[in-house]
Amino acid sequence: MKMKSLNRVSLLGHLVADPEVRSTQNGNSVANFAIATNRKWKNASGEVKGETDFHRVVAWRKLGQLCGEYLKKGSSVYVEGQLRNRSYDTDAGEKRFTTEIIAKDVNILTWKKGEKGAVDADVQPLNKEEESEE
């Protein structure tokens, strides 16, 4: 019997910088941004400790375009998506590996220009062509 699998991520955090939005060669919009999330706990002596994690998020097509229009550094967002691991070569020829969240839905909790609501674009399930940058 084949076991089912699940690749789902939910994050609630703040943008660490404005999104970078560009168009691919075939005209698709893609937004790249980072979200900071905080973890807190008490150590053995009862002292509260904390750490911040940074997550790379990629939003494609209409969702990417909307993220570029409405998100800004410091925006509070709730993101749902999938994890994707990939590798790339730097200009110096070094191979690098990265893990990204491919956003399926972005809910903006803190709005730019005083607007309210959620960026909830009708995003079709990603296929291999949609996931690629070109």
pLDDT per position as a tens digit, 59-107: 999 999 999 999 999 999 999 999 999 999 999 999 999 999 999 999 9
Write out the CATH class of domain 9-115: mainly beta
Residue 121 in this model has a pLDDT that exceeds 50: no
- Spell out the long-range contacts of 2-7 with Cβ–Cβ below 8 A and sequence spacing 24 or more: 7/82, 7/83
Question: Domain residue spans in the chain?
Answer: 9-115
pLDDT tens figures, 20-65: 999 999 999 999 999 999 999 999 999 999 999 999 999 999 999 9
Residue with tokens 């943008």: 15
* DSSP element (H, E) containing 66: helix 61-70
Q: CA nearest 10: which of 124, 122, 105? A: 105
* DSSP element (H, E) containing 35: strand 29-42
**Confidence at 129, pLDDT banded by 50, 70, 90:** very low
Average pLDDT over all residues of the chain? 86
